[in-house]
Chains A and B, each alone.
Chain A
Amino acid sequence: MTAENIIGKRIPSIDAQEKVTGRAVFGSDLVFPGMLYGSILRSRLAHARIVHIDIARAQRVPGVIDILTGADCPTERFGTFIFDESLLAREKVRFAGEEVALVVAIDRETAMEAVGLIEVKYEELLIVLNPEQAMLPGASLLHENHAQNIAYEVHLERGDVDAAFKSSYRIYEHEFATSMVHQSYLETTGAVADADSNGRITIWAGIQNPVGARWAYAQALGVTPDRIRIIQPYMGGGFGGKLEPKLPALCALAAFKLRRPVKIVQSRSEEFMAGSPRVPIKYRLKTGVSKEGRILAKEAYLIGDNGAYTRWASAILSTAAYRVDALYEIPNIRTTGYLVYTNKAPTSAFRGFGNGQTHFALESQIDMIAHDIGIDPAEIRTLNATRPGHTNVHGWFFRTAGLKECIQKATESSGWKEKLGQGRGKKGIGIGCCVHVSSNRAYKKEFDGAAAMVRLDESGIIEVYSGEADIGQGARTIFAQVAAEELGFPFEKVRIHAVDTSSVQFAWGTFGSRATYVGGNAVKKAAEDLRRKVLDYAGEKLNIDKSELNLRGSFIITKDGKQWGLAEIGFNYMCDHAGSYLTGFGHFIPDSAYPDENRYGNVSGAYPFGAHVAEVEVDTATGEIRVTNMVGVHDIGRTINPLLAEGQVEGGMAQGLGWALLENMVYDEQGRLKNPQFLDYQIPTMMDVPDSQVSFVETNEPSGPYGAKALGEPAIIPITPAIANAIYDAVGVRITDLPITPEKILRALKEKKGDKAKREEL
């Protein structure tokens, strides 16, 4: 590999070899001397008062070391934004699957056996499973301090909505509903925690925000964040679900009490019962358009299902309420949203963070509008698309915006014009678009941005320190590319320090599509700093003006062609400075703003866009749907690594396909999850996902590292409505609630046929 121009190259993942050989050690693989195992007793009931927990029989099982209950947790509740959760239930359980007790034993089986012997006496309470019912007066309350079970609400108004509706050519009003879907990363959540004699806790866990999570974990444990060190092993996927999950803190609670290493790994069914699936949101969406199809006004009413605890869901509802308004230039907007507690698993972040839900609603409705007023669905999107240089009604500024180009490229490469409306009865084609953020200042009041260190050691090796986590998406590889590019250093020789909160700087972590944009920028700045320092030092040592020096391929090169190796520079510097390494520090602060009390303010430094086209075949006899082709085009500013970027989009589209067609967590009337296994909660297999074509639009975002914007989350968003729209194109039925099952299609087809027959009779 040449040292230069590594940006834009198809570089395989820096850690792929460790992974294909099975050498990569994941959190669930870790074993420590003297390690104990934890197993969790979970509530069978969805809502009940805990009258008594009898642990006597369980304690007698040989090998049981300790049994923890709510009494072992701090009385103060913890949370990300709303403090409503406890590591183990205190007084009440609020969903079936909630953690009630933790058995710690010498091995996993002993712990599991003892869990089965704990007897809990409950006093059952009325349950509420439907958020609309939960909001009614008199409904059973989950949390006494949240009247009508409302955890959070959003009210927004821009422009003159009523006047805009009055002047609209047509007004459309539809309802949409998204489902409760699980991230279903292949590695279930797990952790090992240990505590030393001074009460300093170390947690080894594959989580998305190792540094940032310490704040919530500290609160959950009733200690200060400095007491917690988190080390991130390889992790088997996150997709939002491993954003400060509860389990590592629970593990730490036991380790802290026992001062011994404790390991807990959730089973797949526990993962389903008590993970943090996507917030299901119901919509009433009213949109007014002009005769040409320009969107004049939009009014949205949202109800989000919070489940039993809030976690990140308040920020998700907020995102769902207004991020979509950046997709099209809509001057008049009114939005009301409620996040409502129900006796189900706490819902939280899943790739897209609420934005995907709302895109399903809006991108379905735009399609309906296009068909009704007789405009090509791609054209109505182009007509309304956010343009570069635009500032929208919420104060968001789009320095770059390649939505039109994405639509154009996606339609051209899929043969859109020839296929649209041609396959009625069986084949169909549909489009969906999206906008997202590259980090979001609204999530965290303190700051937005990222920091990094890049150091040159005595062997001439460059090592990058970033707290922004690689969760399988390839952040390590991107950071190594950025450092290599900036320093003109061979990629193969760049090392990425594993995230260890005791050696990296503060980092919010991997969510909000932050890693490449803010994390990459920070690495770039740190590398620039190191480069400057190396040249300064070399100039000084060689007594040459540093402007005559260049850094390339592990060497300082003078104007007259003399070379000095970085290994030598690193060694000399270290000796001259009593062990100090040449270290570059860098941080990046996006020019975004924390929104004001009316949610006005430019929340992100850069906005990525995308358009997906889906082709489907629908069997009108059974309602079965096959997605036969997917085309994904994204404006990510600049593609740092096409191999990895394509992989993000391919994976996102497959996940969006699952969301559209297959996946759904179903509860029975008692609030118990009916399908907590991959047998019944089905994610797509290789046979369900077609081959796909992915390409990029490069708008070269000036604020991004080498022009790059975000990609991780946008990758899942457009495909779900694109599939729904393709199904409509194929068979003329519109399903507005996810998932779109063969059964719903067949019912709709029969109803349509019945209607038609009825009309003909008349």
Chain B
Amino acid sequence: MKSFSYLEPAALQEALELLKNNKGKIKVLAGGTDFLVQYKEGRYNPDMVMSLRGFSALQGITIGLAEIRVGAMTTIAQVEQSEVITRYLPALGLAAGMIGSVQVRNRATIGGNLCNAAPSADTAPILIAYGAKATIVGQTGARVIALENFFKGPGQTALLPDELLTEVTIPIPPGNSATSYLKKSRRQTMDIATVGVAVHVWVSPEINRIDNARIVLGAVGPYPFRARQAEGLLLHNLPGSELFKQAAQRAGEEARPINDVRASAWYRREVVQVLTEWALDDVFMERLGIKLRN
């Protein structure tokens, strides 16, 4: 194992300068729970590792008038336990609690979970479903992109070598909407998703028509992505079991799973259908209290 030099900038600006001056040579360290695994396996061999623990600008959860901001260095445990998250973004809190172990959640960060860009990352589908935006900061300033455009492939993101993900911003969902994240893995806990499905729906008050819907699939493609055709089937319709079955089936068709040691592509597709249907049932019946038509 080759050692590396360790940098611990004391401010965001300093971190950005270091990134700019050492383009491509720096590996950014958040909680380290993914980095160290990959480093030990020899998948990373960086010259420099830059920790973001030296300043607090990227830490914490704040609530604004219309949105919630989660700093990239906020730990998964903080997300899981946050009262703000539990109240306004409950499905995100639950998804955070599905990651790894207590030990891992105490170290891992939301920024790390996203930047590591594993297709199975548990926070990604639900954040995309919530319509989260990623704030990316570089030397020249900040840019904000929709999180669904953040992922480019396994381990690949829209971040340029001299940029940092500083926070995710999630619009506070209106009262007539609901979300759900369902995950299947081989073990009950301590496992990465074989399939993850996040659903977010908005309904018209009183008539309960589906005004907007997001269905996001995790672990069944190179990165988490929206099943847009399935979403389209739901749009402007009234919630019903038959409709959900159709949407779920379409989501299964939209999935692009692979065969691996965890499951076959066939099984993943089947589970996408099941979870999509369950998640839709869950958001309407459990969260919105709407009775389904057939």
* Contact pattern, B 246-265, Cβ under 8 Å of A = 1, otherwise 0: 00000000000000011110
> Is B1's CB under 8 angstroms from A743's CB?
no
B217 CB, nearest partner CB in chain A, Å: 15
> Is A688's CB under 8 angstroms from B261's CB?
no
Return chain A residues, CB-CB under 8 Å to B274. Answer: 621-622
Taking A682-B186, A688-B187 as contacts, is the C-beta distance between A109 and B1 under 8 angstroms?
yes
Return chain B residues, CB-CB under 8 Å to A14. Answer: none
- Pick from B261, B263, B271, B278: contact of A675, CB under 8 Å: B261
Q: Whole-angstrom distance between the alpha carbons of A679 and B267 in the complex?
A: 20
B235 CB, nearest partner CB in chain A, Å: 25
> Is A113's CB under 8 angstroms from B184's CB?
no
Q: Whole-angstrom distance between the alpha carbons of A342 and B252 in the complex?
A: 39
User: Is B103 in contact with chain A by the CB < 8 A criterion?
Assistant: no
User: Is A227 in contact with chain B by the CB < 8 A criterion?
Assistant: no
User: Is A76 in contact with chain B by the CB < 8 A criterion?
Assistant: no
Q: Whole-angstrom distance between the alpha carbons of A742 and B188 in the complex?
A: 13
User: Is A685 in contact with chain B by the CB < 8 A criterion?
Assistant: yes
B182 CB, nearest partner CB in chain A, Å: 10
Q: Name the residue of chain B whose CB is nearest to the CB of A685.
A: B190
Return chain B residues, CB-CB under 8 Å to A401. Answer: none
User: Is A175 in contact with chain B by the CB < 8 A criterion?
Assistant: no
Q: Name the residue of chain B whose CB is nearest to the CB of A668.
A: B261
> Is B1's CB under 8 angstroms from A662's CB?
no
Taking A113-B1, A622-B274, A674-B261 as contacts, is the C-beta distance between A687 and B267 under 8 angstroms?
no
User: Is B192 in contact with chain A by the CB < 8 A criterion?
Assistant: yes
> Is B270's CB under 8 angstroms from A746's CB?
yes
User: Is A475 in contact with chain B by the CB < 8 A criterion?
Assistant: no
Return chain A residues, CB-CB under 8 Å to B192. Answer: 679
Q: Whole-angstrom distance between the alpha carbons of A623 and B194 in the complex?
A: 13
* Contact pattern, A 348-364, Cβ under 8 Å of B = 1, otherwise 0: 00000000000000000
Return chain B residues, CB-CB under 8 Å to A113. Answer: 1-2
* Contact pattern, B 172-216, Cβ under 8 Å of A = 1, otherwise 0: 000000000000101111111000000000000000000000000
> Is B263's CB under 8 angstroms from A743's CB?
yes
Taking A113-B1, A742-B267 as contacts, is the C-beta distance between A624 and B184 under 8 angstroms?
yes
> Is A685's CB under 8 angstroms from B187's CB?
yes
A374 CB, nearest partner CB in chain B, Å: 34
Q: Whole-angstrom distance between the alpha carbons of A756 and B271 in the complex?
A: 22
Which of A675, A682, A743 lies at the interface centre, i.e. has the most chain B CB atoms within 10 A of its CB?
Answer: A743
Return chain B residues, CB-CB under 8 Å to A674. Answer: 261
Return chain A residues, CB-CB under 8 Å to B2. Answer: 113
B241 CB, nearest partner CB in chain A, Å: 14
Taking A113-B1, A622-B274, A746-B270 as contacts, is the C-beta distance between A680 and B187 under 8 angstroms?
no
Taking A621-B274, A622-B271, A743-B267 as contacts, is the C-beta distance between A682 and B261 under 8 angstroms?
no
- Pick from B189, B262, B270, B271: contact of A685, CB under 8 Å: B189
> Is B189's CB under 8 angstroms from A687's CB?
yes
Q: Name the residue of chain A whose CB is nearest to the CB of B3.
A: A109
> Is B267's CB under 8 angstroms from A682's CB?
no
Q: Name the residue of chain A whose CB is nearest to the CB of B194.
A: A742
- Pick from A112, A675, A685: contact of B188, CB under 8 Å: A685
Q: Whole-angstrom distance between the alpha carbons of A112 and B41 in the complex?
A: 12
User: Is A70 in contact with chain B by the CB < 8 A criterion?
Assistant: no
A549 CB, nearest partner CB in chain B, Å: 59
- Pick from B184, B187, B264, B266: contact of A687, CB under 8 Å: B187
A106 CB, nearest partner CB in chain B, Å: 15
8 A Cβ contacts from A620-636 to B: 621-624, 626
8 A Cβ contacts from A545-583 to B: none
A97 CB, nearest partner CB in chain B, Å: 15
User: Is A684 in contact with chain B by the CB < 8 A criterion?
Assistant: yes
> Is A682's CB under 8 angstroms from B264's CB?
no
B249 CB, nearest partner CB in chain A, Å: 13
User: Is A666 in contact with chain B by the CB < 8 A criterion?
Assistant: yes
Taking A112-B1, A622-B271, A746-B267 as contacts, is the C-beta distance between A666 and B261 under 8 angstroms?
yes
B242 CB, nearest partner CB in chain A, Å: 17
Return chain B residues, CB-CB under 8 Å to A662. Answer: 186-187
Q: Name the residue of chain A whose CB is nearest to the CB of B189.
A: A687
B60 CB, nearest partner CB in chain A, Å: 30
Q: Whole-angstrom distance between the alpha carbons of A743 and B2 in the complex?
A: 41
Taking A621-B274, A666-B261, A742-B267 as contacts, is the C-beta distance between A684 and B187 under 8 angstroms?
yes
Minimum-distance CB pairs A-B, first 5: A687-B188, A743-B267, A687-B189, A621-B274, A674-B261
Q: Can you report 8 A-B residue pairs in the complex whose CB atoms are below 8 A from each other? A: A113-B1, A621-B278, A662-B186, A666-B261, A688-B188, A743-B267, A746-B267, A746-B270
- Other contacts beyond A688-B188, A742-B267: 13, CB < 8 A: A113-B1, A622-B270, A623-B267, A666-B261, A685-B187, A685-B188, A688-B187, A741-B186, A742-B184, A743-B263, A743-B264, A743-B266, A746-B270
Q: Could you list which residues of chain A lie within 8 angstroms of chain B, going by C-beta atoms?
A: 109, 112-113, 621-624, 626, 662, 666, 674-675, 679-680, 682, 684-685, 687-688, 741-743, 746
